[in-house]
Amino acid sequence: MKKKPLDLARGKQKKVVIIGGGTGTFTVLTALKSYPLSLTAIVSMADDGGSTGALRDQYGVLPPGDVRRALVALSESGDTLRALFNYRFSTGDFEGHSFGNIFLSALHKITGDFGSAVKEASRVLNIKGKVFPVTLDNVRLSARLSDGSVLEGETNIDIPKQGRKRGRITEVWLTPRARINPEARQAILEADAMVIGPGDMYTSLIPNLLVEGVSEAIRNSPAKKIYICNLMTKFGETDGFVAEDFVKTLEQYLGPGSIDIAVFNNRKPSDKILFSYKKEGSVFVPPPKNAMGNMRSISVDLLDAGPLIRHNANKKLAKVLMSLL
């Protein structure tokens, strides 16, 4: 399908959809929030660890954690309110719980519908844009490894037990089968541009594509489809991956040739910082050396300063994304 041009000069806000979960979606929303864009975050509903997992198990609510991060990223309220939603109790009965997670779970119970709860929280936080759960079905993520074993639950897939080496992930799926949130589908089909990633491949990005109707909607959307590759591999998920593997794996679920543009970081962190990550089984992902079909590949410095390897959101990532828009 022919891609629609993005003409920001005429003052009309272009519709940009960000698909993912966790800190990757927070980073992209932070990068784009200050620009004249109509932003929509479509967030994975597979998380079942930590505070989110405890609330799911005890109260039967949908996972609030990734939604909370997206809401805070888009919030135009004061620092105190944003800090309140991110506040995590360190003692007592609420130890380990984020206030925002509890707030969203309570709204879910009051409204009887997680989608309505997210809309109410959006008003409270005065967000710039919209946040939609990718599905309103209560699902769990499973993965099959190369040795034939099966891992149940996003947390078990995301964090290998005791840091042990394990077989590579060969397949992931949701139980039960999930249907796309109609509002998420409409946002995808109406988008001018779409940003997928960065984020953990099998626990933040692909769970969105496992929801029935998502990959089809993305393929049918006239939007320009942009993938932001991770800076580092993830132990237990993308061990041994090179840049091309990230794109190929994503398109196994999305459909071949679905990505129009892939953006890669070309600045290598210092050896000292890389050594600390290597101890955790994580290595640097250099940009691809060769062309990947008709997909446009962009290599640029996206690295943030500091001891942690992160995308620089407000300057570097924002600059390259706006140049593509």
Residues 193-217: tens digit of each pLDDT: 999 999 999 999 999 999 999 999 9
Please, which residues bridge with residue 41 across strands? 18, 131
Residue-averaged pLDDT of the chain: 93
Domain 12-22+30-38+179-324 has CATH 1.10.10.10: no
Per-residue tokens: 257? 């040739």
Per-residue tokens: 64? 């609030």
CA dihedral 23, 69, 172, 208 (to 10 degrees): -110
* Cis peptide bond prior to 198, omega within 30° of 0: yes
pLDDT for 10: 47
**CA–CA distance, 141 with 46 (Å, rounded to integer):** 6
Which DSSP symbol is given to 263? Answer: E
Evaluate if residue 261 carries a pLDDT over 90. Answer: yes
- Which of 104, 113, 105, 103 lies closest to 57 in space, CA to CA? 105
Evaluate if residue 238 carries a pLDDT over 90. Answer: yes
pLDDT for 1: 53
Unique residue bearing structure tokens 């959809």: 17
Which DSSP symbol is given to 201? Answer: I
pTM to 2 decimals? 0.93
Contact status, residue 17 vs residue 223, Cβ threshold 8 Å: yes
The residues of the chain that CATH labels 3.40.50.10680 are 12-22+30-38+179-324
